[in-house]
Amino acid sequence: MSETAKLDIINMTKLYDNGDGVRNIDLTVRKGELVTLLGPSGCGKTTILRTIGGFIELTDGDIQIDGKSIVALPPEKRPTSMVFQSYNLWPHMNVHDNLEFGLKLRKLPKEERERRIAEGLALVNMTGFEKKYPGQMSGGQQQRIAIARSLILQPQVLLLDEPFSALDAKIRMQMREELRKIQTDLNITVVFVTHDQEEAMMLSDRIVVMSKGHIEQIGSPREVYNHPATNFVAGFIGEMNFLEDKDTGRLTAVRPENVTVAHQGPGDITGTVRTVMMMGHYLEMTVDTDKGIVKAYLTAQQAEDFKKGDDVTLVFGKKYEYGKEK
């Protein structure tokens, strides 16, 4: 374990009565790192997060922060702070009291409490909202206050459980950028959970891609995008074409941006143009082949050469091979 390791999940297993759960999870998060647990519903990412927070008891293994085990501690004694997807703020208290609650419990003097509250509000651009009640604010504003509330408690690890999933798309982008800025400015260690791979790619130092209770791959966004370790990761991150060899069951995978389309010549596969769709600054072409439909991205200029029904040859650039699909 390196000296900068903040959070260590050691061979953690959590099993529910019906057999679902996560098994043998190993993960080290360094100080100041933002690590995202990414995966579809039911993959176990929220289970891991809530176990770190103290809301779930693990079946086996250990979780350590700064080298000390925290699994015996109840949530109120853990050096973590969690922001939930919704229902963070207490509706019967105004913003000021929401922020003050945790500070009062830590027996901080009034001056210090007021100072931190003011700092927290400034950090999330919500100065002036002290007297407002949660019911008077929008979803985005509420989440900002929730984040501020967690930050001013100065936790060792900040945990976020899909905090932006319930917000409008436009606000989501804004909140992601703001969160990333705050996180890097303050050098806080963060574990973030999401099912949105774009969000994970944008925010993270490293991504932990999960499926069905186990880890598929851990890597930086670039690594996970350019070198997907399993066909699950290949399909989950970004766009990917999958071509199955019917005899061996092996999968060949290639990203649409790595497919070159030509009228004739040597290539990996031939087919007929199915559709050409305008997507904005690029066009998406789908081609019917004997191994399925292949998507390719073309520039406007390239697309001028082709129309529906044309016979084409596809050349694959960077591609990936995987064993039989499980």
Partner 1 sequence: MSEKPQRTASAYSIRSIKRGIGRRKFGEIVVLLLFMLFFYGPLMYAFILAFANKYGPTDILPSEFGFKWWEYVLNRPNVPKAIFYSFLFAVVSTVASMVICIPAAYTLARYKFPGRKLVMFSFLLGNAFPKIGLYTSMGIIYYKLGLMGTFVGVLLVHMLGTMMQMIWLPAGSFRNVPRHLEEAARDAGAGPVRTFFSVTLPVAWPGIAVATMYAFIGSLGESVGTLMVGLPQYRTMMTEMYGVILDYPATAGAVFALIIVIPNLLLLLIMRKYISADTMANGFKMG
Measured from the CB atom, the residue of 103 and 314 that comes closer to partner 1 is 103
Measured from the CB atom, the residue of 43 and 159 that comes closer to partner 1 is 159
Measured from the CB atom, the residue of 90 and 198 that comes closer to partner 1 is 90
Tokens representing 204 are 């993270």
In angstroms, what is the minimal distance from the CB of 1 to partner 1? 26
Tokens representing 205 are 């130092």
Q: Which residues bind partner 1 (CB under 8 A)?
A: 53-55, 74-76, 80-82, 84-92, 101-102, 105-106, 146, 149-150, 153
Measured from the CB atom, the residue of 92 and 324 that comes closer to partner 1 is 92
DSSP 132-152: --GGGS-HHHHHHHHHHHHHT
In angstroms, what is the minimal distance from the CB of 196 to partner 1? 20
Q: What's the CA gap between 83 and 107, in Å, rounded? A: 22
In angstroms, what is the minimal distance from the CB of 90 to partner 1? 6
Q: Calculate ∠ Cα 272-273-276, nearest 5°.
A: 175
In angstroms, what is the minimal distance from the CB of 77 to partner 1? 8
Rounded alpha-carbon distances, angstroms, from residue 316 to 241, 257, 261, 292: 11, 9, 9, 15
Measured from the CB atom, the residue of 54 and 256 that comes closer to partner 1 is 54
Sheet holding 206-211, edge to edge: 80-83, 157-161, 189-194, 34-38, 206-211, 214-219
N-term to C-term CA, the chain: 33
Check the CA dihedral 182-184-187-188 and report its sign.
Answer: positive
Within 10 angstroms of residue 12's Cβ, the number of other Cβ atoms is 23
In angstroms, what is the minimal distance from the CB of 135 to partner 1? 12
Measured from the CB atom, the residue of 16 and 87 that comes closer to partner 1 is 87
Measured from the CB atom, the residue of 155 and 219 that comes closer to partner 1 is 155
Using DSSP's 3-state secondary structure scheme, residue 236 falls into helix
Rounded alpha-carbon distances, angstroms, from residue 221 to 27, 44, 73, 84: 16, 20, 33, 24
In angstroms, what is the minimal distance from the CB of 312 to partner 1? 53
In angstroms, what is the minimal distance from the CB of 147 to partner 1? 12
